[in-house]
Amino acid sequence: MQQLLNEILDEVRPLIGRGKVADYIPALAGVEPNQLGIAVYSRDGELFHAGDALRPFSIQSISKVFSLVQAIQHSGEDIWQRLGHEPSGQPFNSLVQLEFERGKPRNPFINAG
């Protein structure tokens, strides 16, 4: 596993610099853009990591995945009665679709979700 993570990091490292840190978000404004890390826990609880994986970072919208898992564990498939799973076609922070859908977010990964 460790070798695989190292290979993945080596493969994607040349892509650093192709994007831009979202400087309009205070938690990201001062982040060093060359940081890159990856970490995986095995089913046995063993941690594998490469690069800057042990440096603290702001998870931002990745937290939506964890929130969805918690909601499914709590409410089961009933969660989909109150939450859609379709693309919104709107920016992640738009509330326009929410108004049209009478309060039901189109999917769990937009801010209203």
Q: How does DSSP assign the chain, residue by residue?
A: -HHHHHHHHHHHGGGTTSS---TTSHHHHT--TT--EEEEE-TTS-EEEEETTTS----GGGHHHHHHHHHHHHHGGGGGGT---S--SS-TT--HHHHHTTT--S-TTSTT-
Q: Provide the pLDDT for residue 5.
A: 98
Integer Cα distance of 58 and 98 in angstroms: 27
Does the pTM of the predicted model rise above 0.75?
Answer: no
- Mean pLDDT score, 22-36: 90
Q: What percent of the chain has pLDDT over 90?
A: 54
Q: Provide the pLDDT for residue 104.
A: 84
- pLDDT for 13 beyond 90: yes
Integer Cα distance of 95 and 58 in angstroms: 24
- pLDDT for 113 beyond 80: no
Q: Do residues 60 and 77 make contact, with C-beta atoms less than 8 angstroms apart?
A: no
Q: Provide the pLDDT for residue 87.
A: 84
Tokens of 97: 């679709």
User: Tens digit of pLDDT for each residue in 38-73?
Assistant: 999 999 999 999 999 999 999 988 999 999 999 999
